[in-house]
Amino acid sequence: MSVIGNTALRFGEEPAMLMDVARDFCSDQGMEAARAGLETPLAHTAAQWDAIVAMGWTGIGIDEASGGAGLSVAAAVPVVESMGRVLMGAPLIPTLLAAQLLRRCGGDAAEAVLNAIAAGAPATVAELESEDWNAAVTTRLDSAGLLRGGKRMVCDAQSARYFVVTVAGEDGPAVAVVDIEALGAGALKPRVLIDNTRRAADVDFDGIRPLAVFSGIRVAAALRDHRLLGALLVAAESAGAAASCLDTIVAYLKTRKQFGKLIGSYQALKHPSVEILNAVDAARSFVFHAATLVDDGSLSRDAEIACRMAKAQASEALSFAGDRAIQFHGGMGFTWDCDAQLFLRRAQWAQQQFGDAAEHRARLAELLIDHRDTASTT
Amino acid sequence: MNAAVKELEDFRREVASWLDANRPADPGFLLPQSFMEVGSEEQLDFLREWQHRVWSAGYLGMAWPREYGGQGVDAIYQSVVDQEMRRKAVPICFNVIGLGWAGPLINDIGTEEEKAKYLKGILSAEDIWCQGFSEPDHGSDLGNARTRAVREGDEYLINGSKIWTTLGNYARYMILLARTNPEAERKYDGLSFFLAPMTVDGIETRPIRKLTGEYGFTETFFTDARIPASSLMGEEGEGWKIAMKTLQYERGAEAGAAGGLAFVRIVIDDLVHELDDVTRGGRPVLEDPVMRDELVRLIIEEKAIALGDRRASIPALTSDYPLSLPLSHKLRWTEYTRRMRQFAIRAQGGDGALYVGDEDARAGGFWQRAYLNSFSATIGGGTSQVQANIVAEHVLGLPK
C-alpha cells in the first residue's frame, strides 16, 4: 500500500457557489473590518455576525430537523477560508465546532442548543487546561452534578452564549453544556493574545450546573472527530490568510522601488515569494482534499490523515508567509499600519490551535509508518 | 459501476496482464533510470526493442491520430497504460524528446507533410530524437542562442555547437533552435526552429561523461552542416515562440505527450521500504522521532504534488493564480525528488557512503546514483532558479 494513499479531491457546484458568496461578503468587509475590530472587546461587530447568521452559515453541519442548513460540516471549509483572507474576527469556527461536537455526542438534550446555534447563538468549545493540547482533562462533575474546574484560552468565550465543556467522567470522557446565564460575574478572564483580531478568555466553571451532560462511547469518538475538524477549519482559515498575505507581498513588490528598480525584480525576493506560493498551493490542496473526505459521520482514517496534513501544511505556510511579509516590506513592515503584522500574529495563534505542525506530523508518522498495513486502497 | 468505468477497468486489466506477459527479462546490465542516461549500445538496443514492443501492442501514442501510428482513442487510455507501467515497474520508453516534446509539437502545429514524415518513427523508436536548445555559453538562456543557420538555396548551412544533447549520439533528428537573423532588433526574433536531420555531414557528437561516471548526453558540433530548407518549422523568426511552446510540453504544462514512462519513478514508498531494516542507535531508524518528522514532511510534500494535479483541473479552486499549479510543477517535483533522494542516503547511516559497485551498497547503490542523477532534472529544461523566475513573473506577475 502506498503511504500517499487517498488523493480524492472534488468540489461541486454547490460549494463553489457558497465560496463565491463567502468571498464576496468577506472582500466587502476587507482588512478594514479586521483593523476596526482590533481594539474592541469582541473583534467583530453585531452587524457582521447578523450577516453571517442571515446567510445561514451558523447552520452548516446541523441537520435541517434541528434548524440547520442541511449541509455537511465540509461546506464550512470555503467559508472559513474566505474569512481567513480578511482575518475576520467573527466567532464562526468555535460556533460550528461546538455544534459539531454536540450533534456527534447525540441525544435529545442537544436539540434545543443546536436549534439555538443554527438560529445564531454563538457557542464555543472549552477544552484547554494548560499549554499542553494533549494533557488529560481534569475538569469534572461532582456528586451533586456541579462542574469542578476551569478552562483556559477558550476561543471567543467573550461572544459565546453556550459553552461545550470537556469533562473527565467516571467512565471516560464526557461533555457538558453550559449557558452563559449560569456563569457568575467575573467567571470570564479575557486573555491578551498575540493575534489581536482574535479573542479568548479563561472561563471558571467551578460550581456551575450544566444544562446537559453527555457521556458514553459516542463522546470519545465525537471528541476525536472534534479535534480533527478543529484542525481542518483552522487550517482552511490559515490557508486563506496565507493566500491573502501572499497577495499583500506581491502587491508591494510590484509597486515599491529601491535602487531605481521595482523590488519585485530582485531574485532574492522573487524566489521566496514563489516558495510561499507553493506552500499556499499545497495547503489549499490539502484543505479541499480533507473537505472531500469529511462528512457528517465519524471521520475515516483517510479523513484523519487529510485533516492532519492540512493543519501541518497550512500552519507552516502561514507562519512562513507572515514572517517573510514583514521582512519584504522593509521599514514599512515594522510598523503597526502595515497589514503584514496582522498575518504574522494570526500565524502565531493559529499554529497552536488543535495541535501544531510537529504534533500532527508525529501522529501522521504513527498512521503512515507504523500502521502502513491498514492503508486504504482508494 | 457505469459502462465507461467498467470499460476502463477491463482495459486496465488487459494492460496489466500484457505487461506481466511481456515484461523483458533482466538484461544483466544496469538499466537507465531516465531517458537522459542511455550511455551504451546495449542499453540502446534493449530500450529500443522494448518501446517498439509497447507500440506494436497499441499502448503508445494512443491519443495520436491513427494515420500517424497512433490509436486515435481518448487520452485516458494512455493514462491507464502509463499508470500500469509505473505500477509494474517496467523499463522506460526512452524516446522521450520525440514522444513528449517534438511529437506533440508536430501534432499541434506541424504540416500534414511533417506529421506523415515524423510521427510514426517517433512511436516505433525507429527514429530517435534529440534536442538542440542549450549552448555551451548559454545554458538556460535560450534567447541568446548563437548557432547560425544561413539559407543557401534549398538548404540551410548550420554552424555552431549545442550542449547537453540527450541521446545526441543515437538520434536521427534534432529539434534545433538556431539564429537565422543576427540583425533582428529583438534577439528573440532572430531565432528559427528546425526539425533537423542528424545524419548529414558536418555534425559531430562528443559524449559527455556525467557526475555518475556514466554517459547519456553529448556535445554537438555543427561545421558547415547542410540541412534541407524544408526542415524549417513554421516561418523564419518564429523559433523563440515554437521553442517556448516546446518547453510547455517539457514542463508538463501542456498535454499531448504520446505517453510511456520517461523516468523510473522513485517515490516515497520505495524509500520507506528501503529504510525498513536500517537501524540507528540500536533501534529501527523509522522509530527515530527526528527522522520520522523528516520523512513525514517528505510524504506530505509528495502527496501535495499529487493533490495539486487534481486541484489544477478544478477552476473554482484555482482562481487566485490559474497558472500556478501547472507552471510550478517541474520546480516542485524536481526539487522534492532531489531532497527526498538526499534524505534517502542520509537515513542509511554508514551505508549511505557506499556507491554502485560495492557489494554492500544498499539496493546496489540505487539511491546514491539516483541522488546524483536527480540534478539532471533540477538543472535540465531550465534550472530551478530559472523556473522560479518564470513562476514569479508569469504566475505572480512580478517584474522582470
- Listed by number, the residues of chain A in 271-290 with a beta carbon closer than 8 Å to a beta carbon of chain B are 271, 273-274, 277-278, 281-282, 284-286, 288-289
Give the three cell numbers for residue B237. 523568426
Three-state SS letters, B354-372: CCCCCCCCHHHHHHHHHHH
pLDDT at residue number B3: 82
Distances in Å between the Cα of A361 and the Cα atoms of A10, A128, A305, A312, B291 are 25, 21, 10, 7, 11
Strands, E, within A254-337: which ranges?
Answer: 257-258, 261-262
B25 and chain A in contact, CB less than 8 A: no
CA distance A376 to A300: 10
Nearest to B61 by CA among B125, B11, B110, B12: B125
A229-A233-A235-A238 Cα dihedral, nearest 10 degrees: -160
Q: Quick: pLDDT tens for A236-264.
A: 999 999 999 999 999 999 999 999 999 99
Q: By the 8 A CB rule, do B86 and B261 touch?
A: yes
Task: Judge: A281–B316 Cβ closer than 8 Å, yes or no.
Answer: no
pLDDT at A378: 41
The closest of A26, A28, A146 to A89, measured between CA atoms, is A26
Would you state the pLDDT for residue B32? 87
Q: Least CB-CB distance to B398: which of A270, A309, A372?
A: A270
Among candidate residues A11, A166, A6, A3, the one with its CA nearest the CA of residue A75: A11
Q: Which residues contact B113 (CB under 8 A, 6 or more apart)?
A: none
Helix (H) or strand (E) holding B166: strand B155-166
> pLDDT, tens digit, for every residue of B24-42?
998 988 888 888 889 899 9
Residues A281 and B379: their CA atoms lie apart, in Å, by 23
Q: What is the pLDDT of residues B298-353, one digit of tens each?
A: 999 999 999 999 999 999 999 999 999 999 999 999 999 999 999 999 999 999 99
**452564549: which residue's cell?**
A161
Contact in structure between A155 and A94 (CB atoms under 8 Å): yes
Q: Tell me: the pLDDT tens digits for A45-95?
A: 999 999 999 999 999 999 999 999 999 999 999 999 999 999 999 999 999
**A residues 12-51 lying closer than 8 A (beta carbon) to B:** 15-16, 19
Does B138 score more than 90 pLDDT?
no
Q: What is the pTM of this model?
A: 0.89
User: Phi then psi for A314, rounded to 5 degrees?
Assistant: -70, -40
Q: Closest by alpha carbon to A83, among A236, A212, A223?
A: A236
Split at pLDDT 50, 70, 90, the class of A113 is very high
Q: Which residues pair with B388 in a beta bridge?
A: none
Q: Which of A261, A277, A372 sits opposite B391 (nearest CB)?
A: A277
Confidence of residue B392 (pLDDT cuts 50, 70, 90): very high
- ipTM for the predicted complex comes to 0.96
CA distance A240 to B211: 43
**B254 pLDDT higher than 80:** no
Residues 6+ apart with CB under 8 A from B41: none
Best interface-test mutation with A: which of B270, B283, B294, B299 has the largest number of A CBs within 10 A? B299
DSSP, collapsed to helix, strand or coil, labels residue B196 as strand
